[in-house]
Each structure stands twice: as C-alpha cells, then as structure tokens.
Amino acid sequence: MADEALPGELHSVNIRPRVTILSVLRHLNYKPWFALAEFVDNAIQSYLDYKAELRDLHGPEFKLRVALEWDPSAGGRLVIRDNAAGIHEKDYPRAFRAAEIPLDQSGLSEFGMGMKSAACWFAKTWTVRSGAFGEQVERSVTFDIAKIVREDREEVDIVTRTKKPTDHYTEIVLANLYKPLRGSTLPKIREHLASIFRVFVRDGELDLTFDGEPLTYISPAILTAPYFKDSDVTLLWEKPIDLVFEDGKRLSGFAALRERGSTAEAGFALFRRNRLIQGSADEGYRPQEIFGSSNSFTYQRLFGELNLDGFDVTHTKDGFQWEDDEEAVLATLKGALDSEPLRLLSQAEGYRTRVRPQDVVAPAQIAVDATAAALERESSAVITQQVIETIGDDATLAALPPAGGTASRTIDVTVGEDKWRISIELVVDPAIGEWLSLADQPTRAGSGTIRELGIRMNLAHPFMERFRPIFPTELEGVLRIGTALVLAEVIAREQGVTFAGVIRKHVNELLREALSKP
C-alpha cells in the first residue's frame, strides 16, 4: 500500500463546505479520555493499513508507539506523537475536511470526524505535522478555529519540508485548551486510556505512554473455587460467550467472576474492532437486568470483555446505539451467563470468600486500636455511673411503642411445650434512645397461649449512624448479634436470673455514650 515518493506540490488543503462545523465541535459531549482516544484510533488505523510495509522496513518486531505529553503552562498544551505510516498526500482532503466519510468504514476511523472533533473540542488552535511512509515531503497544517470561521476561509495552508522516504510519523499539538487537564483528571486519563486500548497493548501491537509512563491494563484475578452448593470440585469461574442474533449481530468474548469483589472495578467492557467503546476503567457496563442493585454481590464480582459486531456506536465512540436491541440482547446474555455447567450469576450471589488470616491482620489491628482508644477516652464516666447505680426492678414492656418501621418479620417457634411468636423489627427513629429494645408478654405455664416477643433494632442510634452497615450481609450480621443478645436475656430470665435486662441496658448506654464516638 506504500505510495511512491511524491514531489510535494500540495500547498493547501480545502476544508469546505463544512467549515462552520468546526466552531461547534467544542460543544460535543466528550470525556477527555475518549477525546484523546480519537488520536490513538487514527494512529492504530494508519499502522494497521501499512503494517506489512512497516514490518518489511523495520523487521517483524516493529510495533506502533503512541506517546501523549501534557504541558500545563501557557494555557495548556497536549502533544500526541506516533510512528505509524503518517498522512499521505492523497488522504489530505479527507483528513482535514469535516464529516468526510472514508471509503473504508470497517476500521477505527469510520466517521471522518475523529481527529477534527477531538482537536476542536480540546483546543482553540491545533497543528498536525506528518511525514508519510514512502514520501519525501513532511507537511504541517495549523488550524486557528476562530480565525478560520471569522474569515470564512475555504483553504488552510500547508507548510512543507523534505524528508527521507523511510521516515514516517505524525505529531499533533493542541494549544490554548478550552479544557485544561486538572491534577485529579490525569490519573483517570491514564487509567481509561489503558483500559480502552488494552487489547492492542496486550497483543503486543501498541506501546502507549502518557508523559513517559507506559499505560497497561491489569486484568483482575478470576475466582477459583467450588460451586457454593457443592464444595467438592474446584472450578475456574470464567466462561466463553458467543451469541448470534437473527439480524446477524453477534456478541462474543468472555465473562468471569472476580476473585475479590470490587464495587468500582467490576462490570463488562464492551468492545468493537478490539477498541473499547463502553465500560472503561471504573465505569463498567452493569445493566440492572443482569447485575441487580449496586449492593448485590453480582454487582461486585461479575466482569468480562464482550465484542459487539454489527452494532452501531455514537459519533464520539463512547457508547453503543442499541435502538431496540438492548433488552433482547441482555435477556439472551443473562441466560447464557447462568446456564449449566457454570452458573456465574448463581455463584456470584451465593459464594462467600473465606477470609485469609494474612488479610485480617492489618484491619483487625486498626479495629482493635480504634476501639481501645474510644474506650480510653469515653468509657470511664459511663462505667463509673453504671457501677454505682442501684439495680432497679427488671420490668419489661408488654409491647413496643410505634416507631418509624423500615423492615419487620414475625415468626413462630416452639420452645418445649410453649409457642413463642417473635417479631424482629428494624426502624429508623431518632426519637428512640435505645439501640436494642425488647417487648416480652410472658404467659403462665400450661395456659396454651402464645408468648409474644418483640425485638427492635434502631438504625438511627448513634452507633449505627457511625458504623453504618450498607450491604445486606453487613446489616444482617449486626442484626443477628442484637437478636442473640435479646433472646439470651429472655432465656436467662426463664432460668431464674433476676435483672436480666440490665445487660441490655448497659450495652445500649455504652454504645451511645462511649463506643459511638470517634
């Protein structure tokens, strides 16, 4: 595909008839990493188009290198350099005229807008300097958008100089940025670009750097464990996905469970033509139809890389245009994910990681230190007052007063020959001072009536406000401890222990006055 050396007679490039488009491109809904990805897309496509020729010239180990550099001074300056095949003379009209659709739309540069859109979104002025493989001329074009629009220019000048035919490169300089990159944005740009181009980097086709730092994507470790209902056989929780739909569209790749759950990093990455379109870095694609709510275990564990063939993408290449297909695709995908013999969704919800001793040491010490410090600061006065108090009559409530209920359930259990009806209630009511409350309506032996027990935990208690359990399993653990304390009090009273409720009273006071403090 290499061109013969050209004499360099091209001195300007026509940018009509859509020059006015350039002035509105700055208002596109880009994120910085997807705007920068447009330049990397062009470099990759140029490399792929001339891959055979470039490897003939440099050897089979030749790979594409794309370097991005950021200079925050003087209004901000971004530079993107690559060693791809460059922009050939025959491609200049298409390369610099807005919305000029390429003849071949099967690659990464399909809309004829990527470089122009991203450059105009970022910068007031931008320059492209390129030397094409097989040509003896380097060409440089500068776009001053305000000047072009103001003067209604139809052409932009090209500055040329000679070069060796074997030299090939492109350098794009974006200056006077509309959207300078902030300190907090730079790590996200690195993370997202590494995620977007992970396939090309992983396959050894691309070296991608930002300010000299190599950008690489680290794949999460995949869960190796028995099915939670069958502890005999250890399985690798990864399965291939290959779904073909009636209209010829196809979804393929893999899905797996993370060894360690992550609310931020789970989710699917959706690709087209090996380039990530949706779900990069911490913005994984997690439709509720498959992942459920944000506090589910599936939301934290399920991930994968899925290639979508035949699906259209947005012009900014940061999302798919599903039209009416998404619901049907997700339903089919959900069935495949939880099909035998590897039921990913069932395992994601049912499996619980066994805590390794080495993982507990550091957080355990932090918990011990914090608890000891709170006791040291706050408990002296509370305990002193409790010790000198006279133990009062151990009366219990016949029924719990009304409160702002959040969740409740009532069950019947048999205790010897008696029937106990136990109501467990979670409330959020700051008017209630107790963490745990008990209502006990005892009956006489042999009466045949049901004993009514009410157990209430208040989520508005200062202790629960400070150590707010969010996930159902965390809240369940705290509720089970509270339920055990209350039932132990009832049992102790049945065994003849007097003032059994004093323990619960002191627990409520200690949690409020001492252990809820920082």
Residue 69 token pair: 């550099």
Compare 175 and 447 and report the one with higher pLDDT: 175
Asked whether residue 367 carries a pLDDT value surpassing 70, the answer given is: no
**For residue 47, what pLDDT band results from cuts at 50, 70 and 90?**
very high
Query: CA-CA distance, 413 to 422, in Å (whole number)?
Result: 8
Helix (H, G, I), strand (E, B) or coil at 489: helix
Helix (H, G, I), strand (E, B) or coil at 282: coil
Residues linked to residue 321 through DSSP beta bridges, in sequence order: 312
Domains recognised in the chain with CATH numbers: 12-214 (3.30.565.10), 224-350 (3.30.230.10), 370-513 (no CATH)
- H/E stretch holding 169 reads strand 169-177
**For residue 103, what pLDDT band results from cuts at 50, 70 and 90?**
low
Compare 34 and 455 and report the one with higher pLDDT: 34
In the Cβ-directed half-sphere of 29, how many Cα atoms lie within 13 Å? 5
- CB 58: neighbour CB atoms within 10 A? 13
DSSP state, residue 26: G
Say which range, 5-14, 408-417, 489-498, has the weakest mean pLDDT: 5-14
∠ Cα 46 52 53 (to 5°): 80
Q: What is the pTM of this model?
A: 0.73
**For residue 95, what pLDDT band results from cuts at 50, 70 and 90?**
confident
Query: CA-CA distance, 284 to 196, in Å (whole number)?
Result: 12
Query: CA-CA distance, 199 to 219, in Å (whole number)?
Result: 11
Query: CA-CA distance, 46 to 50, in Å (whole number)?
Result: 6
Asked whether residue 387 carries a pLDDT value surpassing 70, the answer given is: no
Compare 241 and 462 and report the one with higher pLDDT: 241
Residue keyed to tokens 């994507």: 217
Residues linked to residue 409 through DSSP beta bridges, in sequence order: 424
Helix (H, G, I), strand (E, B) or coil at 112: coil
List the one residue out of 139, 165, 167, 169 whose CA is nearest residue 8: 139
Query: CA-CA distance, 493 to 446, in Å (whole number)?
Result: 18
**For residue 71, what pLDDT band results from cuts at 50, 70 and 90?**
very high
The whole-number pLDDT of residue 2 equals: 42
List the one residue out of 463, 438, 469, 447 whose CA is nearest residue 513: 463
Q: Provide the H-helix boundaries in 25-73.
A: 32-49, 51-58
Asked whether residue 12 carries a pLDDT value surpassing 70, the answer given is: yes
The whole-number pLDDT of residue 251 equals: 97
Residue 351 token pair: 């499996």
What are the DSSP calls for 446-475, one per residue? Answer: TS-PEEEEEEEEETTSHHHHHT---SHHHH
Compare 6 and 227 and report the one with higher pLDDT: 227
Asked whether residue 405 carries a pLDDT value surpassing 70, the answer given is: no
List the one residue out of 291, 230, 300, 198 whose CA is nearest residue 259: 300
Residue keyed to tokens 């792929």: 48
The segment with the largest mean pLDDT, out of 110-124, 161-175, 450-464, 470-484, is 161-175
List the one residue out of 179, 185, 171 whose CA is nearest residue 80: 171
The whole-number pLDDT of residue 282 equals: 95
What are the Cα distances from residue 207, in Å, to 84, 103, 118, 216, 434? 12, 28, 21, 9, 61
The segment with the largest mean pLDDT, out of 314-318, 360-364, 416-420, 496-500, is 314-318
Compare 250 and 23 and report the one with higher pLDDT: 250
Residue keyed to tokens 């993408």: 313
Compare 107 and 364 and report the one with higher pLDDT: 107
The whole-number pLDDT of residue 234 equals: 94
Per residue in 438-451, pLDDT (tens digit) is 988 866 555 567 88
> Quick one: how far is CA 453 from the chain centroid?
45
**For residue 3, what pLDDT band results from cuts at 50, 70 and 90?**
very low
